């Protein structure tokens, strides 16, 4: 039995959450705490009528999109549109802002090896079919409410963002500076008041720099970030 099944964090409805986590366990690397927090956020949106879609930038095999779909089916009165973005080729090449000792340790890549943007690192590779088999075939979320976008974010987002309305949860899991910056530039303005923004990769310098620079460019301070687990932060958009 998986170790997480013996854990208990005291979340309301945690027994129900465990059942949902069991459905997606092979499709995510997010920690137990990270999954609990996401489910709690999605349930809050459903029970308090926070409007908007669920969007994930960097979906890998679809585990977190699957959790949001399950939460909508369990707690929501109406089906939301869910949007899953991923290159399905792994991570793009990093730029100078991404490199620090921790990044090098995790990805085993050095500046002199860098192939730059649009040349994949070939790490964290999944297929679109991985997401489809979970969300559509196993969870049975309505296909007409499911959107998947294959490609680098800077290529897919400009057109896709025009067809995304309000966002209730924006989950960012792109690892790299450019992935975070382009996601925030196109989508943050669509997050509704009271909606959630989740930053999965706070442990990486590129992620932190992108988030802080985005708010500075827009004349604001970075919101207070709550901690979900060692790598993940989140906040509610209150303006």
Distance CA 203, CA 200 (A): 8
Q: What is the chain's mean pLDDT, rounded?
A: 92
- Identify the pLDDT of residue 139: 98
- Identify the pLDDT of residue 97: 86
Distance CA 218, CA 211 (A): 11
- Identify the pLDDT of residue 100: 79
Query: Going along the chain, which residue ranges are E strands?
Result: 53-57, 82-86, 146-150, 167-172, 191-199, 226-227, 233-236
Which pLDDT band, with edges at 50, 70 and 90, does 6 fall under? confident
Helices and strands counted in the chain (H then E): 8, 7
**Is 90 exceeded by the pLDDT of residue 169?**
yes
Distance CA 212, CA 227 (A): 16
**pLDDT tens track for 57-91:** 999 999 999 999 999 999 999 999 999 999 998 88
- Identify the pLDDT of residue 148: 97
Which pLDDT band, with edges at 50, 70 and 90, does 171 fall under? very high
- In DSSP notation, 67-129 reads HHHHHHHHH-SSPPPEEEEE-SS-PPPP-GGG-SHHHHHHH---GGG---TTS----S---HH
Distance CA 40, CA 46 (A): 10
Check the CA dihedral 30-34-35-38 and report its sign.
negative
**Is 80 exceeded by the pLDDT of residue 117?**
no
**pLDDT tens track for 91-105:** 887 888 888 777 777
Distance CA 216, CA 197 (A): 17
pTM recorded for the entire structure:
0.93
Which pLDDT band, with edges at 50, 70 and 90, does 137 fall under? very high
Q: Burial-class residue 122 by CB neighbours within 10 Å (0-12, 13-18, 19+).
A: exposed
Domains of the chain from N-terminus onward? 12-236 (3.40.50.150)
Distance CA 55, CA 229 (A): 20
Higher pLDDT, 111 or 214: 214
**Is 70 exceeded by the pLDDT of residue 186?**
yes
* Pair of tokens at residue 29: 């690397």
- Identify the pLDDT of residue 118: 47
Give the residue among 165, 217, 134 at the shortest CA–CA distance from 55. Answer: 165
């Amino acid at each position: 039995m998986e170790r997480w099944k013996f854990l208990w964090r005291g979340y309301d409805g945690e027994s129900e959450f465990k059942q949902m986590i069991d459905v997606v366990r092979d499709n995510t690397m997010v920690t137990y705490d990270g999954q609990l927090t996401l489910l709690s956020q999605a349930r809050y949106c459903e029970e308090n009528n926070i409007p908007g879609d669920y969007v994930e930038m960097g979906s890998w095999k679809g585990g977190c999109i699957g959790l949001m779909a399950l939460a909508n089916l369990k707690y929501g009165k109406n089906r939301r549109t869910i949007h899953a973005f991923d290159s399905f080729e792994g991570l793009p090449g990093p730029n100078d802002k991404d490199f620090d000792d921790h990044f090098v340790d995790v990805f085993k890549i050095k500046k002199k090896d860098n192939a730059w943007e649009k040349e994949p690192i070939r790490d964290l590779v999944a297929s679109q079919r991985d997401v489809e088999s979970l969300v559509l075939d196993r969870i049975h979320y309505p296909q007409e409410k499911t959107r998947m976008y294959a490609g680098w974010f800077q290529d897919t987002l400009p057109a896709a963002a025009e067809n995304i309305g309000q966002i209730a949860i924006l989950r960012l899991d792109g690892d790299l500076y450019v992935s975070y910056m382009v996601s925030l530039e196109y989508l943050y303005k669509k997050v509704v008041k009271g909606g959630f923004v989740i930053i999965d990769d706070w442990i990486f310098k590129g992620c932190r720099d992108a988030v802080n620079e985005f708010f500075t460019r827009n004349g604001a301070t970075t919101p207070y970030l709550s901690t979900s687990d060692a790598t993940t932060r989140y906040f509610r958009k209150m303006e």
